[in-house]
Amino acid sequence: MNKRITRSSDDRFLAGVCGGLGEYFGIDSTWIRLGFIFMTPFSYFLTILVYVVCVFLMPEKRNVQETSYHARHRHLRRDSTKELNKNKK
């Protein structure tokens, strides 16, 4: 299975770049955030540009979970489909 770098949808402060990098490399995203913050003044704020570029280049990882809203509406759709099929007969 190919491992992809994606922006995290649940471990995020701004856009999920550090959370995604942490997931990819298997380290805590806090260390990556601290590294970005520490390196910013020494790199003439180039890390901010790198972060912005990563926001646009890294796709977002979508954690889709079924909520009670979706479950309730799925049952309503199923019931309405049954009624439509019953009316057609």
Tens-place pLDDT, residues 62-85: 765 555 555 555 555 555 555 555
pLDDT digits (tens, 9 = 90+) for 13-56: 888 899 999 989 999 999 999 999 999 999 998 999 999 999 99
**CA dist 56 → 17, 23, 52, 53 (Å):** 10, 18, 7, 5
Question: How far apart, in whole angstroms, are the C-alpha atoms of residue 30 and residue 19?
Answer: 8
| Partners of 7 in beta bridges | 60
* pLDDT at res. 30: 92
Going by pLDDT thresholds of 50, 70 and 90, the confidence category of residue 88 is: low
* pLDDT at res. 12: 82
